[in-house]
Chain A
Amino acid sequence: MVYSVNGRILHIDLTNNKVWVEKYGNDLLELFVGSRGIQAKLYWDLVKPEARALSSDNVLFVGSGTFTGTPLPSSGRTTVTFKSPATNMYFKASVGGDFGLKLKLNGYDIVAVHGASEKPVYVYIENDYVDVLPAEKYWGLDVRTTHVELVRKHGLGVDTLLIGPAGENLVKYASINCSVYNVAARGGGGAVLGYKKLKGIVVGNGSRSIILHDPKRFYEKSLKALFNIMKDDALIATAKFGTASATMGLDRTSTLPCYNFRKSFWENAYRNAGEYYVEAGYLVGRAGCAQCIVSCHRHTKTEKYGGVDTVGPEYETSNALGGNIGNSDTDALIKLNDLANIYGLDTISLGGVIAWVMESYERGYLKNLKDELGVEPLWGNVDAAIKLVEYITYRRGTGNLLAEGLAIACKEVGPETCKWAIQSRGLEHSRVETRIARAYALAFALNPRGPDHLHTETFAEFGFTEDARKLVKRLTGSEENAGVGKDAGRPEIVAWHEDIYAVTDSVGLCAFIDTAGFAIDELMLSELFESATGIESTPEKIMRSGERIVTLERMIQVREGRSRKDDTLPWRLLNEEITTRDGKTYTLTETTLNSMLDRYFEIRGWDVMRGLPTPNKLRELKLEFAVEEALRRLQAPVT
């Protein structure tokens, strides 16, 4: 008997038009905690290392966490797992909205989509009823329009997971959207579904309930967590001003990447900031992921650019399509955000690509764009940016190349241009200056996704709040290590965040609750897990399962060909210096990065030269099935 989850995985094979339910029990839950961890194990089992991302051999998993559907606030987060066409490796994406919650209340913790359909289809799920239906009439429609049409067809209570035209056109950074505006943005999950010709999944209201092992104890703890959240300074700010309230903190510490990582602060930064949306009247309401009372999403409106009424922008978007491209026009930012929403595009990669275009043009490349777009892609030219979004979505002209992502585009245009293509391993870099924020730098280098924040975000590094500074002291021995621009203690900071993030993702909790704000700690996590599932837990045990998940993810990628040489960052960040507002210069060299990596692998107990979990470590973590792969790598020469 499982508690807090259904113990059911729904498999859908689009090639053979088959549907079946797989049951799982406490042994999987105990080892892998929930969505992210269980999906990683399923990925290991079902996605061969030689499988191509855009092929019928790829399997895409989506499912919410162990605490989703319970009374615990902020625990509706949903994980999407697939092989990424951008990185050609295991990729975990994270998304809010209601889809994961609704899926769980229909009786399925995870859906696994195998194979590919010949014609556009969508899946409809209502409890035990699962059907694959024709989607021809929705193919080509944007996400918002498609959602409205599907709700009209299936009823007011349904929810959707959808791709937009970008996914249909296999754009390498096409997103998967839940409940319209909640986006599993990165890694090209939209293209994976586009290849499968799966327009989306519709879930009905669902008749299931979540049964907890000790509902009284869980409810008590949930209320405690709730009160902690309501008193947490960081979460109070995030509720009122959204995630783009990070902007000015980054600007002040010169960690706000602008103009394609040529600058790390900007006099116009405030125009991209969450407080400005409130001050200037752009904010008309708030929205939240399922179960989340912080409700950090922004409902914004502008009369300009044809009139926009949308959700967003989040911090990453506000910088990627703001300061990164020299854009201080908040109306335009809202418009660009909406286009990305409805076309189904990852704004971080999109912003990275557009900034690269602008810098390339400035340096004399891509001159054809002037005639092609009818406007020059100069810094801050939002008309050019808007046109580029369309061209990329529909693979028009140069958009066809840009849709492939920076790694491919820069090689095609000229290897010199790869110096300002801010990407590594196929993923464009998230919006923080890692030459200065070095816990972020290390986390980004190790991240299975690529140089990105939404997997292990070490926000405490900034030391903006007392809780953050206390955490840094706890992990590194000294509060002096809080604040950016420092190297000391970064490996310890990263390892802890990786472990707790894996647990957090897997239970469906929003990472802001325990790593940006500090309303729930390891002790509370273990108490919640035990009272929910009935599986004995302690802070040590639950952090160990986090370590297990992180280590499994590493082995998945090792099997796919990853090695220590991939633990790196974009060229510009390892070869060019950055100057702060106060005139101080920082250089992050490969030497510095390598010494952080050495220490990190030591802490992990992995083979340091290879960055490889050892067979003993794998056995210790009950990952025996990965030992063979580790042995194989140990026998191979070091790469």
Chain B
Amino acid sequence: MSLGISVNPSLCTGCHLCELVCSTYHFNKSSVELSRVIVYKDKASARFTPTLCVSCPGMPCARACPTGAIIENKQTGMPEVLVERCSSCGECVKACPYMAIRFTPSVYAYPLICDLCGGDPQCVKVCWPGALTKATTLSEKFRGAAEARSIIAGMISKYVR
């Protein structure tokens, strides 16, 4: 089983291409809001980072789900949303420690969580700057996710008063 995807925020140039290929690959439609990888940008200070699911041990998103709509995908090890059980309550989004679940009900009724494209992640393929890569170790992956989280938290405190 793959180790997943590592984020290296300092290499992100904020281009959004990962989001556009992710949505196209999964939905055959191209849009930022349909992407399982989320790019956060503070344009005024040229600070950018992607964030996406790192498959936390214990799956807090699954545990937070009141309807049991999130299970572990046996092939990829990633959380998988069973839309037939999902009530669109958004609890999983709150539970995610890395702000890595996209949920824009006006665009798509269900939470979007990275599924590694079933094993051949497209975002990694297109990220020339190297902000998204196939993880070589778990600690590298979680370190990157934590760095992304702290950058995002900084943006939120700067802009959301």
Contacts and interface: CB of A to CB of B under 8 A. Distances in A.
Interface stretch (B10-18, B58-66, B85-93): B10-18
A205 B32 contact: yes
B40 interface: yes
Interface stretch (B110-118, B123-131, B133-141): B123-131
A159 B14 CA distance: 13
Contacts of B46: 181, 285, 287, 299, 309-311
B128 A290 contact: no
B49 to A, nearest CB: 11
Contacts of B155: 156
Contact-residue size bin, chain A (C-beta under 8 Å from the other chain): 35 or more
Nearest to B30: A210
Contacts of B29: 209-211, 215
B43 A215 contact: no
Contacts of A109: none
Given A105-B33, A209-B30, A69 B127 contact: no
Contact of B107 (A180, A207, A230): A207
Contacts of A151: 44, 159
A208 B107 CA distance: 8
Contacts of B45: 309
B125 to A, nearest CB: 7
A2 to B, nearest CB: 14
Given A151-B159, A293-B128, A287 B24 contact: no
A535 B44 CA distance: 39
B160 to A, nearest CB: 7
A98 B44 CA distance: 13
Contacts of A357: none
Contacts of A211: 29-30
B34 interface: yes
A206 B33 contact: yes
A311 B27 CA distance: 35
B28 interface: yes
Nearest to B22: A71
A180 B14 CA distance: 13
B44 A144 contact: yes
Interface residues of B, number: 40
B161 interface: yes
A292 B15 contact: yes
B104 A207 contact: yes
A156 B159 contact: yes
B106 interface: yes
Interface string A210-227: 111001000100110010
B98 interface: no
Contacts of B160: 152, 155-156
B31 interface: yes
B130 to A, nearest CB: 10
A70 B43 contact: no
Given A181-B46, A207-B33, A210-B29, A71 B21 contact: yes
A212 B17 CA distance: 16
A286 B48 CA distance: 10
A476 interface: no
A203 to B, nearest CB: 12
Contacts of A179: 43
A148 interface: yes
B60 to A, nearest CB: 23
Contacts of B104: 205, 207
A76 B158 CA distance: 27
Interface of B: 10, 13-17, 20-21, 23-25, 27-34, 40-41, 43-46, 48, 104, 106-107, 125-129, 155-156, 158-161
Given A156-B160, A205-B33, A292-B17, 16 more contacts: A71-B126, A76-B16, A98-B16, A152-B160, A155-B160, A156-B159, A205-B104, A207-B104, A219-B21, A287-B46, A289-B15, A291-B17, A293-B15, A295-B13, A295-B129, A297-B13
Interface of A: 69-71, 73, 76, 97-98, 101, 105, 144, 147-148, 151-152, 155-156, 159, 179-181, 205-212, 215, 219, 222-223, 226, 229-230, 239, 285-295, 297, 299, 309-311
